[in-house]
Amino acid sequence: MDKEHTMLEARILQGQGKTQLEIAEILGVCERTVRNHLKGIPVGRKKPHRGSKVDGFKAKIDEILEDNAFYNGELIYERLVKMGYSGKISVEMFRRSIVCTRLPLRSYIMAARVPSG
């Protein structure tokens, strides 16, 4: 029996009211193994959150786009490399540039539609 099948069988037997010692005898494992299987629901390890290299430059990206909202991700990347960025081009650069370029375009279009005087 593989480990998952043993764990499932141990839980089924426990649900039937069997003791841990009885379950161990039925499955042919030691009582400690049964106790470990029944101790809790098996949960995968949580991976620690690892930041990206872009995280330290997000303020700079916003600053660049504030100066010129029509910069695209490639231009932002070139600027960041000159500032010491050592990573590769990032989706975050493109995402921020797309968000920033759409907002001013809307305001320009709205200003053009409003009749003056």
Q: What is the pLDDT of residues 81-107, one digit of tens each?
A: 898 888 888 776 667 666 655 555 445
Residue 48 lies in a domain: no
**Does the global pTM surpass 0.85?**
no
pLDDT tens, position by position, 57-84? 888 888 888 888 777 778 888 888 898 8
pLDDT at 63: 85
**Residue/partner pairs of 73-80 with CB below 8 Å, 24 or more apart:** 73/97
Whether 27 and 75 share a structural domain: no
31 and 57 both lie in a single domain? no
Same domain, 108 and 59: yes
In a domain, 44, yes or no: no
> How many domains is the chain partitioned into structurally?
2
CB 37 within 8 A of CB 5: no
pLDDT of residue 108: 46
Which range of residues forms the domain containing residue 98?
A: 53-113
45 in any annotated domain: no
pLDDT-derived band at 1, boundaries 50, 70, 90: low
Residue with tokens 């809307």: 106
